[in-house]
Structure 1
Amino acid sequence: MFPEKEIVTIWLNQQGYLVVRDINAGKNKVVDCLAFKLEKGQLKKAIHVEVSVSVAGEHVAEVQKKFSDALVQKAIRQYLAKYSQTKDYSKLLVMNSPSLEKIGDIEVKPFEAVFIEVLAKLDRKDYSNPTVRTLQLLKHTILTEPEQLRALMEGFKQNGAISNQTLEAMLEQLSHLPEMMRVLAKSRNKRVLEESFKGSPLAKPEALAKLVISSLTTRSFNQFLKELFQHEKAKRFTKKKSPKQKTLQVFLD
């Protein structure tokens, strides 16, 4: 059993489907998965599932042919005949990074989405299935542990698995999470924001000025200026001004 097929099987099981794998259709043709739901012993829903996941390239055309192959269709209907006279079923292709949501009457599901759903639902129970156990270890010892996750990202970076552009895209995606904004807003994370700010382009005076002006209301902006001019650095700066010159603080009082 290929790991990707095992993961798809787990995903189908999580949705309440019974799954039969590798049905022999004859002449070296095999049905990857036949998923079905029963209600009081009768067939409620059935799906012919094919899995095409590759890090080297896609083989969609070859897999697509399996859905319309006469021997494959016959094998599926013969199996479904055990539970129903209808023998109708839908078709699902699971593949990585698909460009289409549907190919004819075949629904297309991204493997990445399947993988994420499986990981999200995995608990801490003991499982004998090697694939499930591996996913558990990945989730509970790496992905949910900040230090280990950082080490993983560093390893990826050193080995060229991810680029700076990818890291930037990851940060942008994280910034869209409402939970992330709430976490950053907490006072205990002030240091993280300060360190990030100091090393960012926003630390430049021109950029900072534009950010402050565009982000604050008039009332908040006035309060910001008052706080700014009360700072020791600002006081030293204003003392150097000529007595004839009025500082901005005068207009704020």
Structure 2
Amino acid sequence: MNPEKEIVNVWLNKQGFFTINNINAGRNRIIDIIAIKQTRRKIDEVWHVEVHASLVSPQLSERERSDLAQKFENPQIISAVKKTIREFIGEEAEPRKVLISTVESIPIPNVEVIRFDDVIVDVLSTLDRQNYRDDALRTLQLMKYLVLRKPAVLKSVIGKLKGESEVRRGYRREVITELLSSEQAKSELRNKSSESLLVEILEGSSLASSEKFAKLLATKILSKRARTAFLKELIPQAVEEEKKEQSLDRFI
């Protein structure tokens, strides 16, 4: 079984499904997964799941879309799905058709598309430090604990990706924007321990030398009390600088 199917299987198992994999439908057609959720003797849900993962393109050609549609619409597939369900639960059941894909928008009638990214994140979040025998899970576990949980290592990885052709322009900016826009990041930046970092960022930004920053301070950033304190600090400095400029003008 390929790694993406392994990951999807783990995800389905964690949702309470047991899974039947790689079902032969004849004529070189394989059904990826039939997932069944059962509570005691009651069948709660039955899914027919196909997995599609591609790192080449975020878009599908019409032929690729048609091939994926056939995984749900082909008469042999439909017959094999019904037969498998009947064999395992002893009765007929209409399965929920689910495509788990790296491509977000795939218009296939009556098929629900779930992002493979979301599945990976969900699986990652549940991995602990036990010794997983499954290669795909072990790889995700290593990524979680040796890369994602170590900011310095993650920073190094992102830095080394910047020169690779497959990483689009603006990747680092996108990563930083996503991180800073999260509520967790905003909460962290509100702490006093982050003040020096914020000052350093502002000093090096284009805002530091623009009138826009002054307007932002006055209208959005500072409270009324803080504005008063700010002006008390700023006005004497401005007066002193003006005096120095006037003194210099006398010598010119």
What range describes the TM-score normalised by the shorter chain of this pair?
0.7 to 0.9
Give the count of matched residue pairs.
Answer: 240
Deviations 1:173-215 (A, max 9, x none): 2232221111112122222212211111111142321221222
Counterpart of 2:241 (choices 216, 222, 237) is: 237
TM-score (norm 2): 0.87
Instruction: Please report how far the alpha carbon of residue 79 of structure 1 lies from its aligned counterpart in structure 2 after TM superposition.
Output: 1.6
Contact 1:42–1:84 (CA<8 Å) still a contact in 2?
no
Between stretches 220-229 and 130-139, larger displacement belongs to 220-229
Counterpart of 1:84 (choices 82, 87, 90) is: 90
The equivalent residue for 1:200 is 205
Contact 1:7–1:118 (CA<8 Å) still a contact in 2?
yes
Matches within 5 A, 1:1-253: 1-57=1-57, 58=60, 59-82=64-87, 83-100=89-106, 103-163=108-168, 165-215=170-220, 216-229=222-235, 233-234=237-238, 236-237=240-241, 239-240=243-244
Structure 2, unmatched stretches of 5+, are 247-252
Structure 2 vs 1, CA of residues 234 and 164 (structure 1 numbering), >3 Å: closer, same or farther?
Answer: farther
Instruction: Please report how far the alpha carbon of residue 218 of structure 1 lies from its aligned counterpart in structure 2 after TM superposition.
Output: 4.1
Contact 1:201–1:207 (CA<8 Å) still a contact in 2?
no
Distance 1:152 1:161 in 2: 14
Instruction: Please report how far the alpha carbon of residue 167 of structure 1 lies from its aligned counterpart in structure 2 after TM superposition.
Output: 2.2
Instruction: Please report how far the alpha carbon of residue 241 of structure 1 lies from its aligned counterpart in structure 2 after TM superposition.
Output: 7.6
Distance 2:26 2:42 in 1: 27
Instruction: Please report how far the alpha carbon of residue 235 of structure 1 lies from its aligned counterpart in structure 2 after TM superposition.
Output: 6.0
Specify the SS of the correspondent of 1:158: coil
Specify the SS of the correspondent of 2:147: helix
Specify the SS of the correspondent of 2:216: helix
What is the RMSD of the two structures over their aligned residues, measured on CA atoms? 2.2
TM-score (norm 1): 0.86
Distance 1:146 1:223 in 2: 36
Distance 1:92 1:157 in 2: 35
Contact 2:31–2:77 (CA<8 Å) still a contact in 1?
yes
Specify the SS of the correspondent of 1:73: helix
